[in-house]
Amino acid sequence: DPMLEDFRAVAGSLTYGAPRIPIVSTLTGEQATAERLCSPEYWVEQVRGAVRFADGVRTLHAQGVRAYLELGPDGVLTTMASDTLAAEDQPVADVVAGFDAVAVPVLRGDRDEQSAIMTALAELHVRGVTVDWEAVLTGGRRVELPTYAFQRRRFWPDGAGARVGNLAAAGLAATGHPLLGAAVGLAGSDGVLLTGRLSLGSHPWLADYVVMGSVMVPGSVFVELAVRAGDQAGCDVIEELTLTTPLVLGERNAVAVQVWVGSADESGRREVSVHARSAEAADEEPWVEHATGVLTAGDRAAVSFETEVWPPRGASVIELDGVYERLAEGGLEYGPVFRGLRGAWRGSEGEVFAEVVLPEQVVSGAGSFGVHPALLDAVLHAVPFVGLDDAEGGRLPFSWGGVCLHAGGASVLRVRLVRTRGDAVSVVAVDGGGGLVVSARSLVLRPVASEVLAAPGGGRDVLFQVEWTSSVGLPAADALPAAVLGQDTLGVASMLRAGGDPVPVHADLLSLAEAGPVPNVVLAEAVSGRVDGVAESVHELTSHVLDVLQGWLADDRFADSRLVFVTRGGVVAGEDGEKAPDPVVAAARGLVRSAQSENPGRFVLVDIDDELSSSVLAGVLASGEPQMAVRGGEVWVPRLARVTPDSNAGGDVRSWDPEGTVLITGGTGGLGGLFARHVVAERGVRRLL
């Protein structure tokens, strides 16, 4: 077998500094003799007896063995050997016989044999085991390592802009920008659309910007995108730019970015917006707006400050020791690329001066940007020194005003920050020679909301739930022309008649259609008889409601009318203490909600109690709300609300009964196994099914 011959060659290349490798039996847990191994009785016992693997490992360890190489289909025994040594207070890291103890598998189920065996040899080598590399790497040669410390210097081009492909063939124009790959003019207007793609693979420096544990696209990136879009549209001033939704990057997923610039109005102002979504998203998946603002031309205020003497005369040094550690405590964890703040000083009039430098890892790409986002973001690291109250934690840019780029490609900035009003500051930045680079009339920073960053996508996937609220106003309305469908067991017709208008009651849709013009509002009851049990009642009521829904949609005579399903006890909408909903009525309501989603504006759901009045009902029917509930004369409506982590972190936690049984579905899978171990170790559960 050629593979066996290769394996023998590799095994022969290992030297342990001992004359031989002892053979330890897992039947006895002790060193085996040749006579015992050649006995047929031994192998019968080996099949029938217990496997004393742990005893065998302990015996090897006692004999000074510190290298364990598993010749098996996967790495199961390697883990068991390491656990055995650790359990005997014999850590694998013990240094004996000149090298650390090491346990590695030769074969792995998740990779090919050649990669697995070479990885095993490399692991043995770096852990002190002598490997005859000349036997393993036949034909190789030795090279000397440099005598100086490793210095990493990147020679390959960065950014997506280097891989633009044939954009002209697609009707697009290249932008030459690292963040935006293409631009196209919009037909029928003088608007512009710029597109790009962001990921940690194409822009690895973004991984150094972590907010509340999530890698987020910095606000300075949106400023850079707006500046480039302004250049494309002939606008050189960002009049305003508001960051509406954080853009969170996944570890492997890329996001597609669109920068839209609208047509110029009479004053030359253009709206701008930045949208993004997953690069692998289907066409029907919506784009999320992350920034919106206004671009304009002209009005570039000639702002600057004195830099012939640096630091400025009379300025006092601000101590920067621990500044990034304090920012990390507030949720802003900056990696090396974004740690550009080199010095800060407080001026005699309360202003703050700072010097920021673009780190070496990305300085070669500075010329491709207006202002490299890492450099512009480093300017903001000095903002806390102007006197903003940071008691609520870290702050992120929220709104920019009057931003002008005066010169591009800077790698060093000297900055003057002045607090203007509230939590806003003005920014003026020059290069090392005093040349104006960028200025902002106003920059507002706000504390970051941790729940918005809870999921990849910057809040797009944050969990929401339906909450009923009574904070809704009803329009003042007279009784509407209406009709009632069915038996009117809830007395809705008589209630509406109290308003003065006749309200006919029709047994079915056919009699309603034949009676003449169909009124704008038709009310149909969905109530439970509960005669034959819950299951039978659910089938009966939902079948009836389905017939009404299908009949209503199939007849064009009802096209201009709304069908209002009136229920009682079908939903919990009011204050605490309300009874659980009737499952029969709730099932019918769920069916109607499905019909509402497929046919917007055609159906309405109203759940009532015993205190409904004609005036409230008239307001409900005139409100235009698709779902409502009336409790004690008060109207409740459902609204989506973000689910936030429990703020009462120190409160009661649900206890797990250690004598009870926890049922885990899919418990043999990877996640099920992890969960099983978790509930045992962390919750004290002792019985699992």
Written as six digits, the tokens of 535 are 């299951």
Picking from 639, 621, 617, the residue whose alpha carbon sits closest to that of residue 630 is: 617
Say what the pLDDT of residue 153 is: 67
Structure confidence at residue 54 (pLDDT): 92
What is the pairing mode between strands 182-185 and 173-174? antiparallel
Checking phi first, is residue 486 left (phi over 0); if not, alpha (psi -120 to 50) or beta? left
Indicate if the pLDDT at residue 487 is higher than 60.
yes
Whole-number Å distance between alpha carbons of 373 and 632: 57
pLDDT value for 108 = 83
Q: Is the pLDDT of residue 299 over 80?
A: no
Rounded to an integer, what distance in angstroms lies between the CA atom of residue 345 and that of residue 505? 81
Q: Is the peptide bond before 373 cis (omega within 30 degrees of 0)?
A: no
Averaged over 581-592, what is the pLDDT? 93
Span 625-654, average pLDDT: 72
Confidence tier at 154 by pLDDT (50, 70, 90)? low
The pTM is what? 0.49
Which amino acid type is present at position 377?
D
Give the Cβ contact number of residue 630 at 10 Å.
23
pLDDT of 3: 53
What does DSSP say about strands 562-568 and 316-317: parallel, antiparallel, or unpaired?
unpaired
Given a cut of 70, is residue 8 above it in pLDDT? no
Average pLDDT score over residue span 639-648: 63
* 617 has a pLDDT exceeding 70: yes
635: left (phi over 0), alpha (psi -120 to 50) or beta: beta
Cα separation of 219 and 394, whole Å? Answer: 14
What is the predicted pLDDT for the residue at 304? 72
d(CA 554, CA 371): 61
Q: What confidence category does residue 92 fall into, taking pLDDT thresholds of 50, 70 and 90?
A: very low
Give the pLDDT of residue 113.
Answer: 86
Asked if 179 and 160 touch (Cβ cutoff 8 Å), the reply is: yes
Helix (H, G, I), strand (E, B) or coil at 378: helix
Most confident of the ranges 43-47, 104-108, 372-376, 568-572: 372-376
What was the pLDDT predicted at 99? 44
- pLDDT tens, residue by residue, 316-372: 999 999 899 988 888 889 999 999 999 999 998 889 999 999 998 899 889 999 999
Cα-based distances in Å from 545 to 196, 454, 488, 528, 548: 49, 40, 15, 11, 5
Name the packing angle between helices 53-62 and 76-87 (round to 10°).
60
Strands 352-357 and 332-334: unpaired
Provide mean pLDDT across the span 519-543.
Answer: 86
The 10 Å Cβ neighbour count of residue 217 is: 27
In degrees and rounded to multiples of 5, residue 408 shows phi and psi of: -105, 170
Helices assigned H by DSSP within 165-285: 219-233
Structure-token pair, residue 371: 């202002």
Look-up: residue for tokens 């004996």?
Answer: 96
Least confident of 59-63, 349-353, 436-440, 444-448: 444-448
CA distance 118 to 136: 9
8 A C-beta contact, residue 584 and residue 568: no
Residue 156: predicted pLDDT: 64
Residue 455, pLDDT > 60, answer: no
Query: What value does the mean pLDDT take over residues 98-112?
Result: 76
Instruction: Name the nearest CA neighbour of 195 among 255, 258, 254.
Output: 258
Q: How confident is the model at residue 389, as a pLDDT?
A: 53
Residue 343 amino acid letter: G
Q: In this predicted structure, which of 289-293, 391-395, 415-419, 585-589 has the lowest mean pLDDT?
A: 391-395
Residue pLDDT, tens place only, 398-442: 899 999 999 999 999 999 999 887 678 999 999 988 889 999 999
Whether 474 and 635 have beta carbons less than 8 Å apart is answered as yes
Sign of CA dihedral 122, 128, 133, 135: negative
Per-residue pLDDT, 478: 65
Structure tokens at 25: 């039996």
Round to the nearest angstrom and report the end-to-end CA distance of the chain: 46
The mean pLDDT of the chain is 83
Residue 437's pLDDT is: 93
pLDDT at 161 over 50: no
Residue 280, pLDDT > 50, answer: yes
pLDDT cut 70: percent of the chain above it: 84
- Report how far residue 58's alpha carbon sits from residue 86's, in angstroms, rounded to the nearest whole number: 11
